[in-house]
Amino acid sequence: MDVAILLYEGFDELDAVGPFEAFRYAEEKGADLHARPVTLDGAATVTASHGMRVEPEGTLPDPGEVDLLVVPGGGWNDRGEEGAWAEYERGAVPDAVAAHHDAGATVASVCTGGMLLSKAGVLSGRPAVTHAGALADLRATDAEVRDERVVDDGDVLTAGGVTSGIDLALHLVEREAGAEVADSVAAVLEYERQHEAYTP
């Protein structure tokens, strides 16, 4: 499974790095999960919300060439020129999410990345969650807001606050490679898995 983690200026570090590390450990343990950070424009570096600079591994492939697209959040409540709010307003990231979902990819969000999925139209009428600070905004959409840490609605998954990205990734590892691999990755991370994902 080809996993693209879509970075943009102002994304939250842990939203992306937590799932990336979990997926890479799973791959090392034999899971068919290859994750890489990408951007829409092929930028050489991206600066996250707390100042960490990341060198992505290229540009997001064309729709139909990615199995799973993970969208981090970050900076939603700041309403600044960088972060999820800015990308929501610009529309390029939501457009990419919609195109990949339409082409058959599973799309997943961490934290306020859920608002970008909402703008993409993939949460309409579906159960979803986002960071607590953006739940009111999500309730103003057509999504069915759930009080859950991770929501798995098949080809669309959402996760709540920042650390829930690790739970999301471990859930996906278990879904794709089995509980033994997921538990092994959690053990390496020394991470206590929190709650089962809500699956309607």
Residue spans per domain, the chain: 2-189
What is the Cα–Cα distance from 157 to 197, expressed in whole angstroms? Answer: 9
**What residue type is 72 in one-letter code?**
P
Q: Which residues contact 75 (CB under 8 A, 6 or more apart)?
A: 10, 11, 12, 49, 82, 83, 84, 85, 86, 112
**Does the predicted TM-score (pTM) go above 0.95?**
yes
pLDDT in tens, 116-137: 999 999 999 999 999 999 999 9
pLDDT digits (tens, 9 = 90+) for 34-77: 999 999 999 999 999 999 999 999 999 999 999 999 999 999 99
- The architecture that CATH gives domain 2-189 is 3-Layer(aba) Sandwich (3.40)
